[in-house]
Every structure is written in structure tokens, then in C-alpha cells.
Structure 1
Amino acid sequence: MRTAALYTSIGSLVLSALAAAPAGAWEHPGSAEARGTAIAAARATAAGIDFAACPEEEMLPDSLKCGTVKVPLDYAEPDGRQLELTVSRTPATGPAEERQGAFVYNPGGPGASSITFPLAGELPEWKEIAEAYDLVGYAPRGVNGSSAPLSCQDPAAYTKGPTDAPTHPNQEDKERRVARAKAYARGCAEHAGETLRHYTSLNNARDLDVLRAALGESRLTFMGASYGTYFGALYATLFPSHVRRMVFDSAV
């Protein structure tokens, strides 16, 4: 487990660099990306989400239901190629008149999925939240087979841990880590090609707004952890009027 976690951290560091928003990337209200997001959100509102049994490969209990949301690969071209993001949900367990809407969670990464998150409602600590909210998890773009995976290296190589994990790395150790990270980044570029530039934090935030719309929510209740706090903050910057409540845990 330790070696797998270490390699995951290497990949996450590289994907963080790939996902970081460049200076001056904030779009103006009338930009092509802003218009594309509004179009995608309107379509998602009309389509909603058809929740049914989750894919067998997810190996999830029957109490959890899954569906998909379509988002543009490129928000500047909302009529172009579409990605399907997998979404999971458990409905609020309390009285209907006390329901407060959907509660969306992202655990960070980058590259982590919250598909199993709604199962947290079965824990005593989450009972009151599960009574008031539909608990919603999802797989962001690039995360798994159902959400347009971004493949950066052979899975066998990814799960093979490095031979050393020194507590106090020397310069040679650091150079090896840098070399592995660069090789990982090259793999992302080689596998994804031109589409790589669309796997960004800004597009993650836009996807989140389309998910909000598909859930039928006028404003978003969101909890993010680690990297999830970063693009949650991007979301609040891009869509301040769409925020209901946000909780940031282990803020980046």
C-alpha cells in the first residue's frame, strides 16, 4: 500500500502541474468558454440524470445508484466532442419537506473519484447530513473508463512501486523522482495528444457547474478535500452566484 500511495503522489504532482490554471486564464462573462458552459448547463438541466444500477465493474451495493452527465471536451466548442462523467447518488433519507438539496463531494488528487462517497451516509457521523441531503459522488474527467480516462502510463508500471522511499532524500534521489515525473508527463502527452490541454482545473470547475445543473440545483452545496479545495475555489470564483454552501478540508 505504501509504494502504491507513493506512486500515486508522483502522478498527482504531475497532474497538478498539468491542471494548474495559467496566468490570465480567467474568462470574461462573454468569452467562448463562459457561453459554452451556460449552453452545457442548460442542456444538463433539461436532460437531468437517469439514475439506475451502477456499472458492475464498480462493485457497488444496490443501495447506490449511478448515472452520467455529458460535458464538452472543449467548452469553447459546446457542440463538439462530449465526455460522459459517471455520477453516483443516494437520496436524502429524511422527510421530503426537510430536504436541502444535493451535497457533492470531491476528494482531490487530482485524479480521485468520489463514486463511493454516498455510502458515507450509512455512518453514524453522517446520519444528519444524509437525512437532509442527497449525497452525490462523481468521477471527474480523466479519472476512469466512464469519465473519459486520461492514461499516462501502463497500469502495470503505475502500480509497481519504486525500490526506495528515503526519509531524507539526497540529490540523486530527487533527480530520480524528477525523471520519473517527467516520464509520466510525457506519457500523458503521448497518450492524450491534442486533447490533453482540455484536462484542466478550470474545466473541472466548469464540469462541476454542469453537474449542479443536471442535479436540478440552482446553487451548489459542495465539499472538497485537498486538490478538491483548489478547484472548488476556482468554481466559487467563476460561478459565485451558484454557490450555496462550501466546505474545504485540507485546503490547498
Structure 2
Amino acid sequence: MSAALPEPKAKISIRDLTMAYGSFVVMKDLNFDINDRDIFVIMGGSGCGKSTLLRHLIGLREPAKGEVFYDGKNFTTAEPEEREKFIRRFGVMYQSGALWSSLTLAENIALPLEEFTTMQPKAVRELVSYKLALVGLSGYEDYYPSQVSGGMNKRAGIARAMALDPDILFLDEPGAGLDPLSSRRLDDLILRLRDSLGSTVVIVTHELASIFAIANNCVFLDTATRTQGAVGNPSELKDHSENPSVRLFLNRGAEPADPSS
């Protein structure tokens, strides 16, 4: 008799979360888990609050109600010093890569190492070269962001997010603005990094091809009800979700991304 598969372990737990700007409620009563080593997608139509939810998960916005837990520990109510320990476990890639234009790719990736470690300059240079090699940018250390393609900037942004060997990677619209081939290469890179580093990856995206190619778990933010419309494997939700909005989104395509969402 084969051994039973272990139960998934929740890396991030969202409980009764309400997101609001003043009196305007963006989403309410969110309850779902992101499991260890998931590639988890936050999806939904334009303006549903995808990027807003990401900001709540990394502590850039405070919930109007509810809490976020990491490995069972309360991130929302943690004291500043304790919260800083949580944040050190995060790697974040913002939309467009958000690299400093006046710094080379190597200098951009070295910034968190110089800021948060006591590594010697030679060790920093070696680690930066290694991180760039992981994302297929070996030899581009001395290039500036303006000298490489959009896809290369995205990969450099991921390399910077990985600089401190994070436990959890947060990627905000990593494939936005890329041609289909570059987007597919980025998807393959995310899969390889998850498998090689053992990280949990949380992605905001509306790109259906990427959702089906790499995500094993997701939450759909439903603008009609202002709460989660479904949680689960997107390939299964595509045909079997009881929510017609989820089936429509996954079968007919998504609306264009809204940078303010």
C-alpha cells in the first residue's frame, strides 16, 4: 500500500480580511490559505484589488479588518521589530521591475545585500553574478536597465527579489507588457526558481496563459460580490467552479491590467 500524501502546509493564511480606502470597501471577508511551495495566483478583472491585496500581504497597507498569518504567526498584529523579521523573508518584484535607472543591473541587485548583510564587497559581487546567472543574465552585470529589453528588466527585478534568498517571492504582474515568447520564458524561470530554491511564489496576474502554465493554486477576486469568488487550482476551476464569473474569466480571457488595482 502506498503511503498517504502529506497534507499541504499553509505558508500564508488570510482570515476575514477586508481591504478598504476610507469608506470604500475594495474586498471583504477574504479567507484562504497559500501553501508551502505553491505558485499561487491572485486573479480577477480590472480594479478588483489584486495589487492592493499584495500590498496587504507584504505590509504596505493595513487591513480595515482581519489578519494575515505567516506559518501560523500573526503578521498583522506583530510589533514593528517582529514584523521586520517577517519582511526579511520576503522578496518582492514590483510592476516593470522597478530598477534604479542610474544603477547597473549588478548594482541594483547588490543594494539589498549591502543594506541588510555584512558581506564583503568581493562576496557581494560573486553572489550578484550568481543571481543574475540564475535568471539567464550572466554577463550583463555592467548594463543599465535602459540598455536591455523589458523582459530582461523583469528578470533582473526577480534576481533582486531573490538577493536575500527569500522564503516567499511576491511578483506583481511579471508578464505584463511582454511578448508571448518572453512571457513563456519568464513562466519557465518562475517554475525553475520555485523548484530549485523551494520558495513559495505569490503572483498578481491577469495573463491566462501564465495562470494555466504555472499556477497550482489561486484566488479569484469577484468585483460583483466584492469578495473571493473561488479558491483552488485554476485548471479545475475553469470547468467546475460553481461561480459563473470565475468560469467566464478563465474561459474567455481577462480584462486589461489596471495599474491602480
Same fold (TM over 0.5): no
Normalising to structure 2: TM-score of the pair? 0.31
Structure with bigger RCO (C-alpha 8 Å, 6+ apart)? 2
More helix by percentage: 1
More strand by percentage: 2
Normalising to structure 1: TM-score of the pair? 0.32
